[in-house]
Amino acid sequence: MRIKRLYLFVLQTFLPLFLMTFFICLFIVLMQFLWRYIDDLVGKGLDVAVIAELFFYAALTMVPLALPLAILLASLMAFGNLGEHFELTAMKSAGVSLIRVMSPLIIFLTFVSVGAFFFQNNVLPKAQVKMWSLLLSMRQKSPELDIPEGVFYDQITGYNLFVKNKDRETGILREMMIYDVSKGYNGYANIIVADSGKLSMTTDKKYLYLQLYSGESFEDLKDSRKGARRNDAGMLYRRESFKTKEIMIPFDATFNRMGDETMSNQYIGKDLNELNHTIDSLTLRVDSVGNRLANELRGEPLCGVPSRRVVYKENKQIVEYYKPVIMNQPLDVDSIINSASVNDRRNIIEAAKNKAERLKQEMQFKGYSLEDNLANMRRHEIELQKKFTLSFACLIFFFIGAPLGAIIRKGGLGVPIVISVFLFIVYYIIDNTGYKLARDGHWIVWEGIWLSSEVLLPLGIFLTYKAVNDSAVFNPDAYRNFFRRLTGLHQVRHIQMKDLVMDDVVQSVAMEKLTQLKLNCERFLSKYPKRQSYLAYWTKGFDKVEIKRLSQEVEDVVAYLENSRKILVINKLMDYPYIRQLLTYQPVPNAKAGIAVAILFPIGLLGYWLGTTHQKNLKRDIRSVVKVSNELMEMLKDEDSDGIDS
Q: How many angstroms separate the CA atoms of 274 and 267, rounded?
A: 9
Same domain, 218 and 134: no
Model confidence at 110, pLDDT cuts 50, 70, 90, reads very high
Asked which of 419, 446, 468 is the last residue of a domain, the reply is 468
Determine whether 404 is exposed, middle or buried from the number of CB atoms within 10 Å of its CB (0-12, 13-18, 19+): buried
Residue 216 to residues 163, 165, 200, Cα–Cα distance (Å): 15, 19, 21
Model confidence at 253, pLDDT cuts 50, 70, 90, reads low
Same domain, 133 and 76: yes
Same domain, 10 and 134: yes
DSSP secondary structure code for residue 302 in this structure: B
| pLDDT, average across residues 44-73 | 87
Residue-wise pLDDT tens digits, 161-220: 888 888 877 778 888 888 887 776 555 568 889 998 888 777 777 778 888 888 888 877
Mean pLDDT of the chain: 82
Q: Nearest-CA neighbor of 625 among 561, 578, 565?
A: 578
Same domain, 110 and 205: no
Same domain, 570 and 449: no
Same domain, 599 and 550: yes
| pLDDT attached to residue 35 | 86
Q: Has residue 70 got a pLDDT over 50?
A: yes
Residue 345, domain member (yes or no): no
Same domain, 167 and 93: no
Same domain, 617 and 527: yes
Residue 361, domain member (yes or no): no
Residue 262, domain member (yes or no): no
Q: How many angstroms separate the CA atoms of 622 and 15, rounded?
A: 59
Q: Has residue 111 got a pLDDT over 90?
A: yes
Same domain, 136 and 176: no
Residue-wise pLDDT tens digits, 411-451: 777 777 888 888 888 988 999 999 999 988 889 999 999 99
Indicate the number of domains in the chain: 3
In the chain, the percentage of residues whose pLDDT exceeds 70 is 86
Asked which of 216, 231, 250 is the last residue of a domain, the reply is 250
Cα dihedral: 483, 486, 487, 492 (round 10): 60
**Owning domain of residue 60:** 2-140+384-468
Asked which of 250, 277, 310 is the last residue of a domain, the reply is 250
Residue 292, domain member (yes or no): no
Q: Has residue 147 got a pLDDT over 80?
A: no
Q: Has residue 234 got a pLDDT over 70?
A: no
Q: Has residue 526 got a pLDDT over 80?
A: yes
Residue-wise pLDDT tens digits, 591-644: 878 888 778 767 788 888 888 888 888 899 999 999 999 998 888 887 655 554
Same domain, 454 and 501: no
Residue 326, domain member (yes or no): no
Q: Which residues does residue 410 pair with via DSSP β-bridges, in sequence order? A: none
Q: Has residue 254 got a pLDDT over 70?
A: no
| pLDDT attached to residue 597 | 79
Q: How many angstroms separate the CA atoms of 118 and 35, rounded?
A: 29
3-state secondary structure of 280: helix
Same domain, 594 and 623: yes
Q: Has residue 473 got a pLDDT over 70?
A: no
pTM value > 0.85: no
Same domain, 19 and 133: yes
| pLDDT attached to residue 330 | 77
| pLDDT attached to residue 118 | 93
192 Cβ contact list (under 8 Å, min separation 6): 176, 177, 178, 180, 212, 215, 216, 217, 218, 245, 247
| pLDDT, average across residues 537-564 | 89
Residue 232, domain member (yes or no): yes
3-state secondary structure of 148: coil
